[in-house]
Chain A
Amino acid sequence: MRALGLFLWLTLVPGWLAAQGILVAPHSIFIDHRTRGGFVELYNPEARPVEVELLTLYGYPVTTAQGQLELRVIETPGKDDPSASGWIQVLPRRVLIPPLTKQTIRLLGRPPAQTPDGEYWARLEIRAKEGQIPVTGIDTTQGIQMRLNLEVRTIIPVYYRKGPVSSGLELSDVRATLEPDSIGVRLRLRRSGNAAYIGTVRGSLRDRNNREVQSFSTPIAVYYDIDPRFSLSREGLPPGEYTLQVEVAPERADIPPEQLLRSPPVRASVSIVVQ
């Protein structure tokens, strides 16, 4: 009877709610010191409220030895680090977003007096306590239920610009490696100026007739010198000589053009022999 009682109790418990995601827009925040203010909008597409917490931290992308980009987070920025995480205020820091509702989060920059002109960086971490992931597998006769509580964290860049800012890029050491099913492309990017370089890397693989046979186009942000890796498929590529043309330009389809700093595109090429 006790087991039956348990069974009945379990069947009366409402099913777990599927976890949905908070939508964050824009995915990069630019703040001008003249206004000191920025914003990000969070939208809750769920039919129930979602609790959101926001934090600032300092970090920037770097490349590993294998050319993979990863976010380096520095817990305690040094005095020479262009960190804005300590003086960008986020309002509100904690909010319960009702169902199907958009919440605007304001960012306010309060740099210390005598902060030199330049660009300062932060990352905004948005922690959304979603619903419960159903880990279904209910053995109702034994009264075992399982659930995983999901928290989704989204980390997006914040750029604070004070005074004149500029950015440029030097492209060098373009090299290609033949792999079993792909062509690995590495390049060295060295940034100049006092702001991060935000743009797009485009690669075009051309055959002897200058016909494009493969290409890639990837958004990139260069804070400090990096050596990223990109990949082209070798599938269907006949043996022969090819030229890989690489261009990096301060263009982005996902960032308003007025936020991008102008500088001339940089280009390089390398020959590849596919056997």
Chain B
Amino acid sequence: MRTWIKVSAVSVAFLSLAASTAQAQSGNIQATANVLASISVAQGRALDFGNVTPGVNKTVALTDATSGRFDATGAAAAGVQITFTLPTDLASGGDNLPIAGWTGCWNTANDASAGCAAANMGGSTNGSFSAGGLLYVFVGATVSPGAAQAAGAYSANVTMTLSYL
């Protein structure tokens, strides 16, 4: 009888082993993605002249809280060339509203004063992204409405080009 018990025990052990092997099976896959480096430019803040009086020039300086701002993102420390094509007038039908005295500067921090390097608004400017891939471009200008400036919706085109070097 002891022999029977031994055989049984061994057989049960084998069965248990077989069952546990069959109980769980597994397989692995990978979840993968490839993050692309990207570049973008967005308007961070409108160029705001506030109340404009006919016949009175109004200037927005770069350091004003109402200067325009473009926010760009790109590769860390990468160099870019910034170029503007700027209007001299806003037009409404046959009427013009002069805009001039464009000023600009670029910075790797959101700060138009400390460390903001002057931009050549009539040509191109070299800038670079921060270590975190950020670049800010600030814009100011002067509008000169005439004393009898006609009512209307005045508009003009502004082109900003960011060239990856």
Contact = CB atoms under 8 A, between A and B. Distances in A.
Interface in B44-66: 46-54, 58
Given A24-B38, A155-B164, A146 B124 contact: no
Contact of A137 (B58, B74, B153): B58
Contacts of B37: 25-28, 254-255
A156 interface: yes
Contacts of A146: 49, 52, 90, 97, 143, 153-155
Contact of A153 (B40, B124, B160): B160
Contacts of A147: 90, 153-155
Interface in A102-123: 123
Contacts of B49: 135-137, 146
A31 B85 CA distance: 31
Interface in A22-68: 22-28, 41, 45, 61, 68
Interface residues of A, number: 55
Identify which of B42, B53, B143 gathers the most chain A CB atoms within 10 Å of its CB: B42
A27 B129 CA distance: 13
Nearest to B153: A145
Given A21-B41, A144-B149, A145-B152, A69 B78 contact: no
B157 interface: yes
A15 to B, nearest CB: 10
A71 interface: yes
Contact of B48 (A69, A135, A218): A135
Contacts of A151: 157-160
Q: In the A-B complex, list the 3 residue pairs whose CB atoms are closest, starting with the nearest.
A: A143-B151, A137-B49, A21-B42
8 contacts: A23-B39, A69-B165, A70-B81, A135-B143, A139-B53, A146-B155, A149-B158, A217-B77
Given A137-B143, A144-B145, A151-B157, 20 more contacts: A21-B40, A26-B36, A27-B38, A27-B39, A27-B75, A70-B124, A133-B47, A134-B47, A144-B54, A144-B97, A144-B152, A146-B143, A147-B154, A148-B157, A148-B158, A151-B159, A152-B162, A153-B161, A154-B163, A254-B78
